[in-house]
Structure 1
Amino acid sequence: MHEIRLASRPTGWPTASNFEIAEVETPVPGDGQVLIRNIYMSVDPYMRGRMNDTKSYVAPFEVGAPLDGAAVGEVVASNAANVPVGSVVAHGLGWREFAVADAKRVRVVDPAQSLSAYLGLLGMTGLTAYVGLLDIAQFSEGDTVFVSGAAGAVGSVAGQIAKLKGAKRVVGSAGSAEKASYLIDELGFDAAFNYKDAPVREQLKAAAPDGIDVYFDNVGGDHLEAAIASANKFARFALCGAIAQYNETTPPAAPRNLALAIGKELNLRGFIVGNHNNRMPDFLAEVGGWLREGRISARETVVEGLANAPEAFLGVLRGDNTGKMVVKVGDEPAVRS
Structure 2
Amino acid sequence: MTPTNSRHWVLSNKPTGLPILDGPDATFQLETKSLPPVEDDQVLLKVLYWSNDPAQRLWIDPNISPDRLYVDPVEMGYTMRSYSCICEVLQSQWTNISVGSIVMADVGWCEYAVVPAGDCIPVQPIAGLEPTHYISLFGLAGVTAYYGLVDIAKTGADDAVVISGAAGAVGSNAVQVAKHVLDCKKVIGIAGTDAKCRWVESLGADICVNYKGTDFQKHLGEATNGFVEVFFDNVGEEVLDFMLTRVKKNGRIAACGAIASYNGTVTGGIKNWYQVIAMRLQIRGMVVTDAIPTGRFSAIVDLLKQGYRDGKIKATEQGMTVVPTSFEDVPKTWMRLFDGRGSGKLLTQLV
TM-score bracket for this pair, using the shorter chain length:
over 0.9
Give the corresponding residue for 2:167.
151
| 2:71 alignment counterpart | 58
Q: Distance in 2 between matches of 1:84 and 1:67?
A: 27
The change in CA–CA distance for 1:79 and 1:16 in structure 2 (over 3 A counts) is: same
Choose the corresponding residue for 1:273, options 288, 294, 309: 288
1:141 and 1:36 map into 2 onto residues whose CA distance is 44
Deviation at 1:154, TM superposition (A): 0.3
* Cα distance in structure 2, aligned partners of 1:172 and 1:110: 32
Distance 1:22 1:303 in 2: 22
- Give 1:312 shift: 1.6
Question: Residue 297 of structure 1 corresponds to which residue in structure 2?
Answer: 314
Tell me, yes or no, if structure 1 residue 28 matches structure 2 residue 37. yes
| 1:8 alignment partner AA | N
- Supply the distance in 2 between the matched residues of 1:80 and 1:199 (Cα, whole angstroms): 59
Q: Is the 8 A contact 1:27 1:98 kept in 2?
A: no
Match of 1:13 in 2: 18
Partner of 2:262: 246
Task: Report the AA paired with residue 303 of structure 1.
Answer: V
Select between 261-270 and 78-87 the one with higher mean Cα deviation: 78-87
- What SS class does the counterpart of residue 245 from structure 2 fall into? helix
Q: Which has the higher mean CA deviation after the structures are superposed, 143-152 or 312-321?
A: 312-321
Give per-residue Cα distances to partners, 1:64-98, cap 9 Å, x unaligned: 22111110111111222222323221111131111
In structure 2, the residue matched to 1:313 is 334
- Separation in 2 of the partners of 1:270 and 1:208? 23
Indicate the larger mover: 231-240 or 299-308: 299-308
Structure 2 vs 1, CA of residues 247 and 27 (structure 1 numbering), >3 Å: closer, same or farther? same
Q: 2:194 corresponds to which residue?
A: 177
Residues 40 and 94 in structure 2, CA contact (< 8 A), matched pair in contact too: yes
Separation in 1 of the partners of 2:59 and 2:85?
17
Percent identity between matched residues is 35
Q: Distance in 1 between matches of 2:113 and 2:216?
A: 43
Instruction: Give 1:297 deviation, angstroms.
Output: 2.5
My pick for the range that moved more, 56-65 or 104-113, is 104-113
Which structure 1 segments of 5+ residues have no match? 331-337
Residues 27 and 20 (structure 1), Cα distance of their counterparts in 2 relative to 1, 3 Å cut: same
Give the partner amino acid of 2:28.
Answer: F
TM-score, L = length of structure 2: 0.88
The answer for the alignment partner of 1:214 in structure 2 is 230
Tell me the CA shift for residue 23 of structure 1.
2.7
In the alignment, the residues of structure 2 paired with residue 105 and residue 199 of structure 1 have an alpha-carbon distance, to the nearest angstrom, of 49
CA distance, structure 1, for counterparts of residue 76 and residue 92 of structure 2: 30
The offset of 1:171, in angstroms, is 0.7
Equivalent residue of 1:24, what SS? strand
Aligned-pair distance for 1:159? 1.0
1:84 paired to 2:120? no
Deviates more, 1:82-91 or 1:256-265: 82-91
Which SS does the other structure have where 1:232 is aligned?
strand
Aligned counterpart in structure 1 of residue 116 of structure 2, from 72, 86, 102: 102
Task: Structure 2: give runs of 5+ residues left out of the alignment.
Answer: 1-5
Alignment of 1:283 with 2:275, yes or no, is: no
**Kept after mapping to 2: 8 A contact 1:27/1:35:** no
Displacement of 1:192 in angstroms is 0.6
CA RMSD of aligned residues (A): 1.7
| Stretch of structure 1 that moved more, 51-60 or 64-73 | 51-60
Contact 2:79 2:108 in 1 (8 A): no
Relative to the length of structure 1, the TM-score reads: 0.92
What is the aligned partner in structure 2 of residue 257 from structure 1? 272
Q: Output the CA distance in 2 between the equivalents of 1:16 and 1:64.
A: 16
Which whole-Å CA distance do the structure 1 matches of 2:45 and 2:335 have between them? 26
Is 2:14–2:76's contact at 8 Å kept on the other side of the alignment?
Answer: yes
Distance 2:212 2:74 in 1: 32
- Shift in Å at residue 212 of structure 1? 1.1
* Distance change (3 Å), C-alpha of 1:127 and 1:4: same
* Residue 119 (structure 1) aligned to one of 122, 135, 156: 135
Aligned: 1:43 with 2:52:
yes
Q: 1:233: Cα distance to partner?
A: 1.4
Aligned to 2:219, the other structure's residue is in SS state helix
